[in-house]
């Protein structure tokens, strides 16, 4: 359901960008970079729509690239939309301003949807992942994923069962297997080196 909503929001955003491009092409009050910027915005929306689908089906956490892009461009779009409203003096310029405002609202919705936790969408083998592994870039930047643990610690003493599950790469069993494999490889290399050294000494004598 979340994936469908995200893709639908991206489709609406791309449609609004396409509408803005078509209207800008008919206006005379534009600069030399207006059409190029509008076309690039449309291509970016289509590309990020595909990337969003791939990230939602292949990754356990929200896309950091998409969230960073949306958070940065929303701020610029606010200034851009305000400028379009201030310079609007006829019907078509007002239409462009309305489309820009609608695109800004839709992009803000996409930003919220892209930042949502995808734990409910994970397959059973990935559901045990700790919150840090499935949190968005905002969650990890401000350590919001620790809030549930702080709340439990505020209400009662924290037990070992209250702690989050460790990532499999940090578990003792996984580290032990890697250590045993590396140790066995080291013994094999040492044995091969000693045998080679004995052969060289035998040839020299």
3-state secondary structure the chain: CHHHHHHHHHHHHHHHHHHHHHHHHHCCCCCCCHHHHHHHHHHHHHHHHHHHHHHHHHCCCCCHHHHHHHHHHHHHHHHHHHHHHHHCCCHHHHHHHHHHHHHHHHHHHHHHHHCCCCHHHCCHHHCCCCHHHHCCHHHHHCCHHHHHHHHHHHHCCCCHHHCCCCCHHHCHHHHHHHHHHHHHHHHHHHHHHHHHHHHHHHHHC
In this structure, are 122 and 158 located in the same domain? no
Question: What is the reported pLDDT for 190?
Answer: 62
In this structure, are 84 and 185 located in the same domain? no
Question: What is the reported pLDDT for 16?
Answer: 94
Do 114 and 45 touch, CB atoms closer than 8 A?
no
In this structure, are 153 and 121 located in the same domain? no
In this structure, are 91 and 155 located in the same domain? no
In this structure, are 70 and 152 located in the same domain? no
Question: What is the reported pLDDT for 191?
Answer: 58
Residue 140 included in any domain: no
In this structure, are 92 and 120 located in the same domain? yes
In this structure, are 14 and 104 located in the same domain? yes
Residue 26 included in any domain: yes
Please count the structural domains in the chain: 2
In this structure, are 116 and 156 located in the same domain? no
Question: What is the reported pLDDT for 147?
Answer: 81
In this structure, are 44 and 96 located in the same domain? yes
Question: What is the reported pLDDT for 202?
Answer: 46
Question: What's the predicted TM-score (pTM) here?
Answer: 0.73
Can you give the residue range of the structural domain that contains 60?
Answer: 2-127
Question: What is the reported pLDDT for 142?
Answer: 84
Query: What does the pLDDT profile of the chain (205 residues) look like in tens digits?
Result: 677 888 999 999 999 999 999 998 888 777 888 889 999 999 999 999 999 999 888 888 888 899 999 999 999 999 999 998 998 888 888 999 999 999 999 999 999 999 887 777 777 666 677 777 778 888 888 888 788 777 877 787 777 776 776 666 666 677 777 767 776 766 565 655 565 555 554 444 4
């Amino acid at each position: 359901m979340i994936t469908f909503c995200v893709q639908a929001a991206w489709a609406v955003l791309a449609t609004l960008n396409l509408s803005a491009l078509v209207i800008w092409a008919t206006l005379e009050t534009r600069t030399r970079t207006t059409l190029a910027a509008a076309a690039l915005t449309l291509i970016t929306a289509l590309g990020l729509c595909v990337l969003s689908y791939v990230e939602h089906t292949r990754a356990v956490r929200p896309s950091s690239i998409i969230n960073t892009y949306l958070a940065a461009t929303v701020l610029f779009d606010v200034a851009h939309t305000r400028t379009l409203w201030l310079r609007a003096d006829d019907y078509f310029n007002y239409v462009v301003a309305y489309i820009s405002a609608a695109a800004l609202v839709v992009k803000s919705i996409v930003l919220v949807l892209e930042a949502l936790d995808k734990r409910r969408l994970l397959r059973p083998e990935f559901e045990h992942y700790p919150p840090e592994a499935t949190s968005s870039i905002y969650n990890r930047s401000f350590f919001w994923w620790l809030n549930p643990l702080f709340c439990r610690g505020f209400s009662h003493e924290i037990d070992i069962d209250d702690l989050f599950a460790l990532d499999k790469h940090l578990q003792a069993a996984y580290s032990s297997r890697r250590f045993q494999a590396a140790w066995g490889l080291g013994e094999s290399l040492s044995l091969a080196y000693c045998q080679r050294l004995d052969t060289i000494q035998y040839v020299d004598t």
